[in-house]
Homo-oligomer: A and B are copies of this chain.
Amino acid sequence: MPTARDAVVPLDEQHTHTDLGWCLVTATREFKRLALEAMSDLPGGSRGYLVLKVAGRGQPQSQLSLARELGIDKTVMTYLLDELEQAGLIERRPDPNDRRARHIHVTRRGRSTLATCRETVAGVESTFLNTLGAKDAAKFRELLERLALADRVKPEDECGPAAPC
């Protein structure tokens, strides 16, 4: 029932003021703003960066495996790769073992762009985490990563700590 609770505002209530959802949305919004600003020239923005990063490591992957790994819909991945290919950062090559699939190959220019973006992202991240000290920033990264991985890693998936999904 209504209660006079709101008028009194005990300490406990104060803590409720820390709304986890609001904090998540607000912090994420700000990070995206910084990232978009810093990578406005990259096709697909920060997601284009992620595609380059994931596609550029290890064996060439299909569009679908990239999409799944990044949590992007396969139809969105098509558009994203269109942009990246048009900019000359990736190429679609036929998978010799499955003619339905394409191997996503990061071009030389793509790798160069990726290297630049890594530095840009590092700058954005440190700007974003600037408020926390170095120690707390590291702690935050660790905890956030555990949360993000816990959300996505299904038991059968074998995404090690060095290769997060």
Contacts and interface: CB of A to CB of B under 8 A. Distances in A.
A57 B5 contact: yes
Contact of A147 (B23, B35, B38, B152): B23
- Main SS at interface, chain A: helix
B29 A71 contact: yes
Interface string A1-23: 11101100100001011111111
A interface bracket (residues with beta carbon within 8 Å of B): 35 or more
A160 interface: yes
B131 A163 contact: no
B21 A144 contact: no
A19 B125 CA distance: 9
A87 interface: no
A139 B46 CA distance: 28
A130 B160 contact: yes
A162 interface: yes
Given A130-B160, A144-B140, A162-B127, A151 B20 contact: no
Contacts of A27: 24, 144, 147-148, 151
14 contacts: A2-B111, A3-B58, A6-B57, A6-B163, A9-B57, A20-B121, A20-B141, A27-B147, A27-B148, A27-B151, A30-B147, A124-B163, A130-B150, A131-B147
Given A16-B122, A24-B144, A132-B147, 15 more contacts: A1-B111, A2-B112, A2-B159, A5-B57, A9-B57, A16-B118, A19-B50, A20-B129, A23-B144, A24-B28, A25-B28, A37-B163, A131-B147, A132-B143, A139-B139
